[in-house]
Amino acid sequence: MITERIRALRQELPAEVEIVAAAKTRSPEEVQEAVSAGVQLIGENYVREAKRAYRVVGDNARWHFIGIMARQKHDLFRPSTLQMFDMIETLSSLELARELDAACAKIGKRMPVLLAVNCAREPQKSGGKPEDGPTVLAEIAPLSHLHVEGLMTMGPLLEEAEAIRPYFTATKGLFQQLIAQAIPGTELHFLSMGMSHTYRIAAEEGANLVRIGTGIFGPREPIV
């Protein structure tokens, strides 16, 4: 079923939109099937799960960290972990940026990152306020071992998918604003928005990365 779901998604989405297979709680074998079906980007929330999958899949995919950085700094900033990931999508503060920059400096790697934006200003979620985006980006840009390549947002969990559209529209507006400012040290190409129930709207609103888990792997097994 994984292969069939990916084929259907690929036919539905515009060619310029890349699928990030959100592999939270999924087995390495499921991740391997997704890669065999043509997915090139794997999104991992947890470092330990990512390493288990990486041992099976290796460099046949590109690996994005899509979890909350602050909760996993101990594991995420290890040299072996930073070598494995090709992008961190959830950079949420200048403080974390500085710590990540220092960790990457130790291994001589310049890490591509996306600046996480809390578009709905939800207190329980990480990510910066949209209005702070220009200032935070300007402060992160000079860090020599990070390369800011775009924005990422989650959006609120709403029953009606269409209700999330204004948040994606606002994030796209911020994205365009930051591109127009042409802050030295940044190259903003990626807008990561949308998940399994909102990826269609995200693509319509300008996302070129969509993070899809259930829509690829099926419902997660209940925790008992």
Is the pLDDT assigned to residue 189 strictly greater than 90? yes
* Number of domains, the chain: 1
Q: According to the model, what pLDDT value does residue 160 have?
A: 85
> How large is the angle between the packed helices 165-181 and 133-140, nearest 10 degrees?
50
Least confident span in 4-8, 76-80, 91-95, 129-133:
129-133
Residue 224 in domain: no
Summarize the chain as % helix, strand, coil (round to 5): 45, 20, 35
Is residue 181 situated within a structural domain? yes
Of 132, 117, 140, 119, the closest CA to residue 186 belongs to: 140
For residue 223, pLDDT over 60 is answered with no
Could you tell me the pLDDT band of residue 201, with boundaries at 50, 70 and 90? Answer: very high
**Residue among 134, 101, 98 nearest 117 (CA):** 134
Of 224, 154, 167, the C-alpha closest to 196 is 154
pLDDT in tens, 116-160: 998 877 666 777 788 889 999 999 999 999 999 999 998 777 778
Q: Output the pTM of the full model.
A: 0.94
Could you tell me the two tokens for 120?
């709905």
pLDDT band at 224 (very low <50, low <70, confident <90, very high): very low
DSSP 120-155: T--TTS-SB-GGGHHHHHHHHTT-TTEEEEEEEE--
Whether residue 41 is contained in a domain is answered as: yes
Position 221 scores a pLDDT of 66
Over the stretch 99-110, which tens digit does the pLDDT of each residue have?
A: 999 999 999 999
What is the per-residue pLDDT for 168?
96
- CATH at 161: 3.20.20.10
Q: 6 versus 128: which is more confidently predicted? A: 6
- Would you say residue 223 lies in a domain? no
In whole angstroms, what is the distance from residue 224 CA to residue 210 CA? 30
Contact between residue 115 and residue 140 where contact means Cβ atoms under 8 Å apart = yes
State pLDDT tens for residues 30-53. 999 999 999 999 999 999 999 999
Share of the chain above pLDDT 70, in %: 96
Which pLDDT does position 222 carry in this prediction?
52
143 HSE (CA, 13 A, CB side) = 27
Whether the CB-CB separation of 170 and 193 falls below 8 Å is answered with no
Q: 204 with 191: CB under 8 angstroms?
A: no
Q: What are phi and psi of 93, to 5 degrees?
A: -160, 160
Domain residues for the domain of 160 are 2-217
Residue 222 lies in a domain: no
